[in-house]
Amino acid sequence: MSNSFLPRWSLKTEGVIMPDERLPTGQMIVVGLQHVVAMFGATVLAPILMGFDPNVSILFSGLATLIFFFVVGGRVPSYLGSSFAFIGPVLVATGASVGSPNPNISLALGGIIAAGALYFLIGLVVQMAGHRWIERLMPPVVTGAIVAAIGLVLAPIAINSASGVTPDNAAGSDFARWIALATVVAVGLVAVYAPGTARRLPVLIGGAAGYLIYYICANVLGFGPPIDFARIGQAAWFGLPTFQSPVFDARAISLIAPVAIILVAENLGHIKAIGAMTGRNLDPYLGRAFMGDGLATMLSGSAGGTGMTTYAENMGVMAVTRIYSTLVFIIAAGFALLLGLSPKFGAFIGTIPGPVLGGLSIVVFGLIAATAGRIWVENRVDFSNPRNLITVAVALVLGAGNFKLNVAGFTLDGIGTATFGAIILYHLLRMTPATAERPRAAE
């Protein structure tokens, strides 16, 4: 990459597109839209579950991505969206019910801003102290375990969406499952067999195919709940969402601010995974990435948005398309800003059926977990070493089972327990004489 503040993106029309490369403008716009489709479901779902305004969160996901882009100097390809790590602490701090309007959003916003500030300070320490200690703390075997856990902990979310599970229908439906599987097949067919440029758009084209299949089966043939287009006609073309002001309360801050630790774990795993995908060492940007995410979270919380985090869904899109150009995320952020300011466009995207989003999630979350294998293979991790084997085994089950642990008033979910469990267990076992005799190259 260049030594200037931002990269000088070179044009490339085929093969792997690296962070400092770009496709022709038209293709870049379509790929950016594909990233919006990938992030939309989760970025909308998180505020809905916490009782926030989804349009505010969509708007700030675009602003957050732009902040992140400039703080890391355009070197790290990543999209920022609503973090699910805040859901539990926010509901506890505000006394709200899942999916219901939150009467104490202002209290939650104060806590979100505090979490962002703590996150920024952690990034500042990493930036000043250097990143080498992180490499010693998290060697490839640990990093791979965390990345795999990130993909696996998201699996139930994908499966519930693919199965049509709702608060009113805990069992889901076979119709939803077939639609999700059809979407998965469509994505796979596009990724493998589509000609030319279309092969780079499997999530967008596969999602469109799933949408069409759902429309025919539900709206035309009546096999499932039809897509309701009425909200599109009712929505305005342009309009500001409802902003909120924060209130700083000691109890709410004590419950929500520690989420910053989970965000560090998520961001660390994401950057390690992207580094493995691109074959580039992105560790020097860890401190700046943490600071960018922290600033974005503070900005979002200051006006009614959710806490922000780097998005696994968009990592999955990069893994399947092999397009890592950071310019794509400027385009995606622009679309997000339009969505946030256009209730009608947001209403249209909101008509995407849950089973279609579930099918897309199965693919992208699975690709995240599969990236762990690439990390282990490329770094020649020795699984005959019991330290490595046990570390990975425990992390995978903690992540897949979404093992939760209450610590000082907040809940550490599967990503957090798998992350800290892998780090602690690896270094604890490293202290034993039996593993110390193993050659270092096998770690």
pLDDT for 371 beyond 80: no
Residue 397 — very low, low, confident or very high, per pLDDT cuts 50/70/90? very high
Instruction: Give the tens place of pLDDT for each residue, 408-438.
Output: 665 667 777 887 888 899 999 976 554 444 4
pLDDT for 304 beyond 50: yes
Using CB atoms within 10 Å of the CB of residue 287, give its burial: 0 to 12 exposed, 13 to 18 middle, 19+ buried. Answer: buried
pLDDT for 383 beyond 60: yes
State how far the Cα of 406 lies from the Cα of 416, in Å rounded to an integer.
11
Lowest model confidence (mean pLDDT) among 189-203, 216-230, 380-394: 189-203
For residue 100, the 8-state DSSP code is: S
pLDDT score for 441: 44
What are the residue boundaries of the structural domains of the chain, listed by start? Answer: 19-442
pLDDT for 98 beyond 70: no
For residue 405, the 8-state DSSP code is: E
The residue assigned the tokens 């490369």 is 21
pLDDT score for 100: 62
* Mean pLDDT, range 204-231, rounded to an integer: 87
In 10 A of CB 27, how many CB atoms?
18
pLDDT score for 273: 81
pLDDT score for 308: 92
DSSP 258-325: THHHHHHHHHHHHHHHHHHHHT---GGGHHHHHHHHHHHHHHHHTTTPPPEEE-HHHHHHHHHH-B--
φ, ψ of residue 353 in degrees (nearest 5): -65, 145
CA neighbor of 80 nearest in space, from 71, 89, 90, 88: 71
Residue 368 vs residue 323, higher pLDDT: 323
* Residue 142: both structure tokens together: 């640990």
Instruction: Give the tens place of pLDDT for each residue, 253-289.
Output: 877 887 787 778 778 878 888 888 888 888 888 899 9
Query: If you average pLDDT over every residue of the chain, what do you get?
Result: 83
pLDDT score for 67: 95
pLDDT for 439 beyond 60: no
Percent pLDDT > 70 in the chain is: 90
Instruction: Tell me the whole-structure pTM to 2 decimals.
Output: 0.70
CA neighbor of 142 nearest in space, from 424, 422, 394, 432: 422
Residue 2 — very low, low, confident or very high, per pLDDT cuts 50/70/90? low
